[in-house]
Amino acid sequence: MAAPPPAAHAKNGDTHVTGQGIERTLDCNESTLLVNGTQNIVTALGTCWAVTVMGSSNTVVADTIINDITVYGWDETVFFRNGDPFIWDRGRELGMVNRLQRVG
C-alpha cells in the first residue's frame, strides 16, 4: 500500500505559470508553484513549499523544494538542488516518462 501524498498548503499564496512556451524566472517565496501547459521553462529561486506540473514538455529548475513534487502528464522535467520533497509522478504510473530528481 502506497503512502498518501502530502497535502501542500502554500504559506504565501500560490504562483501559477499557465500557457505555452513561457520562460520565466521567479521567487518561489515559500509558496506552491503550479506550472500548467506545454514547453514552459521555469527557474524557481529561493524556497518552494511544493511544485506541481501538468501538461507536457515543461521544465522546472528549483533551488529548494520542501514538501512535495507532483507531476501529471508526460515529458516533464523537475530538477531541484535542495530539500527532501515527496515525489509523486502520476505520469509514470500511467507509463509516461518524466524526469524528477535532485541535481548538484
Please, are residues 38 and 54 in contact by the beta-carbon 8 Å criterion?
Answer: no
Which residues partner with 51 through β-bridges? 33, 69
Q: What is the rounded distance in angstroms from the CA atom of residue 3 to the CA atom of residue 8? A: 15
Residues in the chain: 104
Evaluate if residue 10 carries a pLDDT over 80.
no
Q: What is the pTM of this model?
A: 0.87
pLDDT at residue 8, rounded to an integer:
47
Q: What is the rounded distance in angstroms from the CA atom of residue 57 to the CA atom of residue 98? A: 9
7 or 81, greater pLDDT: 81
Mean pLDDT, rounded, for 68-72: 97
**Structural domain boundaries of the chain?**
17-88
pLDDT at residue 98, rounded to an integer:
96
Evaluate if residue 11 carries a pLDDT over 90.
no
pLDDT at residue 5, rounded to an integer:
54
